[in-house]
Homo-oligomer: A and B are copies of this chain.
């Protein structure tokens, strides 16, 4: 069966109700489209555990800040459709802006606490947009589980918090980061990079690998590690560091000393393009 496209919330809800009546399990992969191997790895994971795999494709205005790349964000539904066909996805849910944000729209879901740091500090309304759209997608698709990528680690934490707090009846599955062969974390935004920026972008992963090595060799001091990563990345001609942080992976509180689990997360501009990457270490 070729992948089917559903374009309205109402139709998606009807279909989802029918699927549930049949006792079949729905897995959702929420995306903004322009799919790459990272997304497809999430689809494959969903395929393993669901009877019906729904991939939502919606470039959500509410999670872009003023001056961010909403307008130029890459879109290609035909290409996405072909890719999802090959992965045996069942349904593409791609609602319209007017269906998602009707006239007079005024409702937002906000998670406090874990949204105040890292990407939430750099992008003030970003997570409010993410939690709101995920709530809407969950209500439209009514999945048994939804799959998110670890590249957006903070996002996955925020969504887990929201699901727990608001009694949403679904499981959140987080899948590992998928990288290009040279180590760059896959992202739809990588298409923005020039050749030189693309080379500098490798510094993100290199810095994470360096920190990982040093921790394995016994370094426990976060300031030292961050300093070394900073120096490595700042040496790039096109890089501008937004943040490099070492955090408790559950609370996102800064760690001074690494003793158990640590999230090493960074956001760096390569030229105009903001890239993020992270690793979770257990010592």
Binding site for B on A (CB under 8 A): 9, 13, 17, 20-21, 23, 102, 104-114, 131-132, 135-136, 139-140, 142, 161-162, 164-169
Q: Cβ of A139 and Cβ of B161 under 8 Å apart?
A: no
Mostly helix, strand, loop or mixed at chain A's interface?
A: mixed
Give chain B nearest CB distance to A9 CB in angstroms. 5
- Distance in angstroms between the alpha carbons of A168 and B20 in the assembled complex: 17
Copies of this chain in its oligomeric complex: 2
Across-interface contacts of A167 in B (CB, < 8 A): 9, 13, 136, 139-140
Q: Cβ of B113 and Cβ of A104 under 8 Å apart?
A: yes
Across-interface contacts of A142 in B (CB, < 8 A): 169
Beyond the given pairs A106-B112, A108-B110, A136-B166, 12 more chain A to chain B contacts, judged by CB atoms under 8 angstroms and listed by A's residue number, are A21-B21, A102-B164, A104-B161, A106-B111, A106-B114, A106-B161, A107-B109, A107-B161, A108-B109, A109-B110, A139-B166, A139-B168
Q: Cβ of A165 and Cβ of B107 under 8 Å apart?
A: yes
- Distance in angstroms between the alpha carbons of A113 and B103 in the assembled complex: 12
- Distance in angstroms between the alpha carbons of A106 and B109 in the assembled complex: 11
Q: Knowing A166-B139, A169-B139 are in contact, say whether A107-B104 is a contact too (CB < 8 A).
A: no
Across-interface contacts of A162 in B (CB, < 8 A): 107
Q: Smallest CB-CB separation from A112: which chain B residue?
A: B106
Q: Cβ of A110 and Cβ of B112 under 8 Å apart?
A: no
Across-interface contacts of A169 in B (CB, < 8 A): 13, 17, 139, 142
- Distance in angstroms between the alpha carbons of A139 and B163 in the assembled complex: 10
Across-interface contacts of A161 in B (CB, < 8 A): 104, 106-107
Give chain B nearest CB distance to A108 CB in angstroms. 5
- Distance in angstroms between the alpha carbons of A164 and B102 in the assembled complex: 9
CB pairs A–B below 8 angstroms (24 shown): A17-B169, A20-B20, A21-B23, A102-B164, A104-B113, A104-B161, A105-B165, A106-B113, A106-B114, A106-B165, A107-B109, A107-B111, A107-B162, A107-B165, A107-B166, A108-B110, A108-B112, A109-B109, A109-B110, A109-B166, A136-B165, A136-B166, A139-B166, A140-B167
